[in-house]
Amino acid sequence: MTVLSFHPCFPGDRYIHCAGRSLTEDKKAAMGHATAVILHQACGPALYAEAQKRCRHVFPDFSTRFTYPGKIGQAELFSKIGVAHPETMTYKTVKGFFETHKAGRPSLDFPLVFKLDKADEGHGVFPVTGPEDLPPLLDKARAWERTGQAGFLLQRYVPPFFGVLRVVVIYKKFVAYWRVAGATTGFAVNIARGADIDDQAHPELREKGIAAVQAVCKKTGINLAGFDLIFPAARPESGPLFLEINYYFGRRGLGGSERYYTLLTQEINRWLKDRQIAA
C-alpha cells in the first residue's frame, strides 16, 4: 500500500512537490497507483478533481469547498443544509446589485456587513451602517471585478455576545477559541488585525459551537477547515450563527504552525488508521 503525499509536512511513502507546477501524466499515474493521497491546504480544484478520480482515499475532503466556492457558495450551502446564519443577500456583480435593487426594492435594512466573495481572514469585510456607506464599497467591488474576481454579499449585522468563535476541524480533532476585539482591532475581529485569543471563556458556548460544527461536518464531509460562528448578544442561547468557512486558516489560535502541523500529522495518521492504511 502506498501513501502519496502532496503535503511537504507529511511525506508519506512518496512525496510530490506540485506547488506552481502543472500536473503531469506521471503524477496522475502515481495517484492512480496510490492507496491514499494526501493534499495540501492550498490545493486547487484541478488537483483535487484528479485525486478524487484516480484514488479512493483522499485527504482532506474538499468536495464541499469546490462545490460551494467562496462566501457566496457558503451562504448557499448554509441555506441548503438548514444551518442558522445571518440573513444574507448575494450579488455576482455590481451590475447585478443595481438590477436587484432597481427603484430601491427590495429595500436594505441597515446595519449590514459587506463581504467580498473570495477575500480571506477578515480582508474585504466592511461595516455598512447606512446607505451612505455603500458607494465606496461598490467601488471596491468594481475594482475587485477588474482583477478577475467578482461577487460580494451583504449580511445582516448581528452584534456578537463575545467576539467570534473559531472552531477548527482537523479530521476528528475539534479546537475552539474566541477571537475578541483588541485595542487595535478594526471591524473584522481577526487575529491578523490585532484580535485577542481566548480559549477559556464561556466553555458552554464553545462546546455548543463545536457540536454545531460537528453536525455540519457530518452532513458535508468537511474534515479540514476553520468555521467562524457568533452567538447573538441579545439571545446567546439561540446561537450559534454560522458566518463563514475558512479552508486556509491562520494557526496562531492553535498554538502556532509547529503545533498545527503536529495536530495535522496526528490526525492524518488517525485517518489512515481508520481506513486500515499504513503510512
In total, how many domains does the chain have?
3
Q: Model pTM?
A: 0.93
Residue 132, domain CATH: 3.30.1490.20
Range of the domain at 58: 3-66
Mean pLDDT per 10-residue interval, the chain, length 279 residues: 92 85 88 96 93 97 97 97 96 95 84 90 84 95 93 95 96 96 54 75 97 98 97 96 94 94 98 90
For residue 18, the model assigns a pLDDT of 76
Residue 235 lies in a domain: yes
Q: Supply the pLDDT for residue 123.
A: 75
Task: For residue 140, tell me if it sits in a domain.
Answer: yes
CATH of the domain at 193: 3.30.470.20
Q: Does any domain span residue 13?
A: yes
Q: Is residue 166 a contact partner of residue 227, using CB atoms and an 8 Å limit?
A: yes
- Any domain includes 20: yes
In a domain, 219, yes or no: yes
